[in-house]
Structure 1
Amino acid sequence: MADHAYRDSVRRSYDTVAEEYATRLHNELAEKPLDRALLACLLEQTEPGAAIADLGCGPGHVAAWLAEKGARTVGIDLSAGMIEAGRRRFAQVEFREGDLLELPAKDGEFGSIVAFYTIIHLKPGDLPRAFEEARRVLRPSGILLLSFHVGEEIRHLDELWGHDVDVDFRFLEPARIAGLLEAAGFTVEMLMERAPYAHEVESRRAYLLARRT
């Protein structure tokens, strides 16, 4: 599948499940203590007054959690349906429709970036471009916090919560992602893994904290 057709398929799939996703997962951070701790770490290291970007924000619940803690947040997602769902729920978050490979943001606009489970929808060859874009929109010494599923498999879904979808979930090797980030101009400061929580899909999770050099 050509890259543009692949991204269109991801976009349509998330448009289809946007309302259901927002309803089911709006409070998921309440059951993820490690995620909250890492987000708090990100907040503490963000330059005062600088905005935080939530890439692949979905309906914006992570950006909203950060906003509740006093951050100025911008949620960016490929899916117009997700953006609409977020705007209806979280007036405190600015939402923008956009692609990880061509972010709708100015150079150095953000003090930090969070990207939870969004690079898993990129084809391997697109990862360097996505990391270069993340670096472009970060201020010098800005922080990037990534999470993704660990491994080498691709899980394809044709159905999600009773809706027809056509989307791949690509598991990734942490050492490879760290290497790509270093090549894109980041210094990796933390890499850790955890087992899934009882309510999550069965997969090992990786978290990576990197600083723009």
Structure 2
Amino acid sequence: MREPLGSTPVTPSPSAPSAHSSRTAAAYDAVAVRYAELARDALDALPLDRAILAAFAEHTGSAGPVAELGCGPGHMTAHLRDLGLDAFGVDLSPAMIRIARESYPDLRFEVGSIEALDLPDGTLDGGVSWYSAIHAAPGEVPAYLAEFRRVLAPGAPLLLAFFESEGGPVAEFDHKAAPAYRWPIDTLAALAADAGFTETGRMLREPLADERFRRGHLLLRAALP
């Protein structure tokens, strides 16, 4: 594992999730089995999504740990493993983590909040947030990005996947699990820059026949000291 230059890793004390996060976790607990069934093979029909995940894997350039930050039932963590990464998953929903552990017993999955990760500073060689921060209110997103930056080693990549607002402002919508938000890709990229990331690349994917919204992807790198 790499450490930030000139600093000592600190393991934060785990904090209780916010009331909003607790409600989101309960919402996903309630739909966990059905969600896992729908998500298990979703990547098979998404070549562009697989391409940017492959690009992320190449950008890690290390054998160190990579976390899926908000892993749900674990299918994406398993895909990262299949790309050759030392991947593990963290999710706020205990029901999702139970399914992930049952489905992929060879991988590590932990219950935890991506608002306050129980990880030392700078110990991840990569992070993937695959639609995991979409339920955070706009004012909370900078703190999420700052937390992702804290746990990533300098130079480590971060991949954000989200629903894009197609030229409009940040907009709330009726996600099936809990209220969620669509973001302009430039606005989210600017917040990531403020949190200490540099942009490596981006991808916008138009919705498929069974999808409502354009999908946004930002490939970022934690700034060097």
TM-score (norm 2): 0.86
1:205 matched residue in structure 2: 215
The amino acid that maps onto 1:117 is Y
Structure 1 spans left out of the alignment, 5+ residues: none
Tell me the distance in 1 between the aligned counterparts of 2:76 and 2:35.
13
1:125 counterpart (139, 162, 180):
139
CA offsets 1:59-105 (integer angstroms, 9 cap, x no match): 01011011123211111111111111100001232111111210122
After TM superposition, the structure 1 = structure 2 runs for residues 63-78 of structure 1, keeping only pairs within 5 Å, are 63-78=77-92
The amino acid that maps onto 1:37 is A
- Percent identity of paired positions between Structure 1 and Structure 2: 35
Instruction: Report which of the two has the higher share of strand.
Output: 1
Q: How far off its partner does 1:110 sit? A: 1.1
The amino acid that maps onto 1:175 is D
Q: How far off its partner does 1:48 sit? A: 2.1
The amino acid that maps onto 2:172 is I
The answer to whether the aligner puts 1:156 opposite 2:156 as a matched pair is no
2:72 matched residue in structure 1: 58
The amino acid that maps onto 2:197 is F
Q: How far off its partner does 1:188 sit? A: 1.1
Q: How far off its partner does 1:153 sit? A: 2.4
2:203 matched residue in structure 1: 192
2:187 counterpart (173, 176, 200):
176
The answer to whether the aligner puts 1:21 opposite 2:32 as a matched pair is no
Aligned length: 203
Are 1:57 and 1:75, in contact at CA under 8 Å, matched by a contact in 2? yes
Tell me the distance in 2 between the aligned counterparts of 1:133 and 1:69.
25
Query: What secondary structure sits across from 1:23 in the alignment?
Result: helix
CA offsets 1:116-153 (integer angstroms, 9 cap, x no match): 11111111111111111101111110000101111232
Tell me the distance in 2 between the aligned counterparts of 1:18 and 1:77.
12
Q: How far off its partner does 1:4 sit? A: 2.3
CA offsets 1:146-187 (integer angstroms, 9 cap, x no match): 011112321235xx5xxxx5x111111111111111111110
The amino acid that maps onto 2:221 is R
The amino acid that maps onto 1:195 is E
2:5 matched residue in structure 1: none
The answer to whether the aligner puts 1:102 opposite 2:116 as a matched pair is yes
Structure 2 spans left out of the alignment, 5+ residues: 1-16
TM-score (norm 1): 0.90
Tell me the distance in 1 between the aligned counterparts of 2:40 and 2:73.
8
Tell me the distance in 2 between the aligned counterparts of 1:142 and 1:114.
11
